[in-house]
Amino acid sequence: DAGVIQSPRHEVTEMGQEVTLRCKPISGHDYLFWYRQTMMRGLELLIYFNNNVPIDDSGMPEDRFSAKMPNASFSTLKIQPSEPRDSAVYFCASSRLAGGAYNEQFFGPGTRLTVL
Amino acid sequence: KNEVEQSPQNLTAQEGEFITINCSYSVGISALHWLQQHPGGGIVSLFMLSSGKKKHGRLIATINIQEKHSSLHITASHPRDSAVYICAVTQGAQKLVFGQGTRLTINP
């Protein structure tokens, strides 16, 4: 398997523009997570899905952020309008529940977002 | 106070030294994870454990549930072990809460 795939790897945009980050989880994984990493706050969970349904979005900073998972193989994280403080590395990760036990999460390579 | 605390924040050692990174948590957990983040930015899961000890090559992870403490040990450290090591705990279903990370540098 190719692992978790994220695109784009780098995004530079201007304040006020819409940004869409994309993620393809590992096939067969039923959990998908979006994380944000900054120097100040480290890694933070933004939202996670189970079987394409959002379970916990309490980490989403504000209404400018939205995430969707239209099917088991694709998810998007959208920021509209973007602000300089959104500059960070955004990671997508996936995992599966097997035999009633939780498994490790597999991380994508991340998208480095810079908002000017 | 953060729910997950790591120490030290930075660690520099010579090749071959035995390395210990500590993690303490203050919340109930279903599992604890050790992650490795290399300078290129990629994150790899090293261990997930809920009790006892796990070993993979030169890496050993232990957890003491009663004391809410975990340690990551690296034996015979090598410059390629230089990375940020992140402790994270699973609360409830699958929600991860992260420590601030420990930056490890191994000099040749």
The mean per-residue pLDDT over the stretch B50-72 comes to 95
Distance between B95 CA and the closest CA of chain A, angstroms:
7
For residue A92, what is the nearest residue in chain B, using CA coordinates? B43
The mean per-residue pLDDT over the stretch B57-86 comes to 96
Contacting residues of A for B101, CB less than 8 Å apart:
42
Instruction: Name the percent of chain A lying above pLDDT 70.
Output: 95
Q: Quick one: which of A77, A114, A82, A81 has its CA closest to A93?
A: A77
Q: Read off φ and ψ for residue A8, nearest 5 degrees.
A: -75, 170
DSSP letter assigned to residue A115 = E
Q: Is B20 on the interface with A (CB under 8 A)?
A: no
Q: Is A104 on the interface with B (CB under 8 A)?
A: yes
Each residue of B74-101: pLDDT tens digit? 999 999 999 999 999 987 767 889 999 9
The mean per-residue pLDDT over the stretch A76-92 comes to 97
What Rg do the C-alpha atoms of chain B give, in angstroms? 13
Range B41-47, long-range pairs (CB < 8 A, 24+ positions): B41/A89, B41/A109, B41/A110, B41/A112, B42/A107, B42/A109, B42/A110, B43/A91, B43/A93, B43/A107, B43/A110, B43/B86, B44/A107, B45/A104, B45/A105, B45/A106, B45/A107, B46/B72, B46/B85, B47/B72
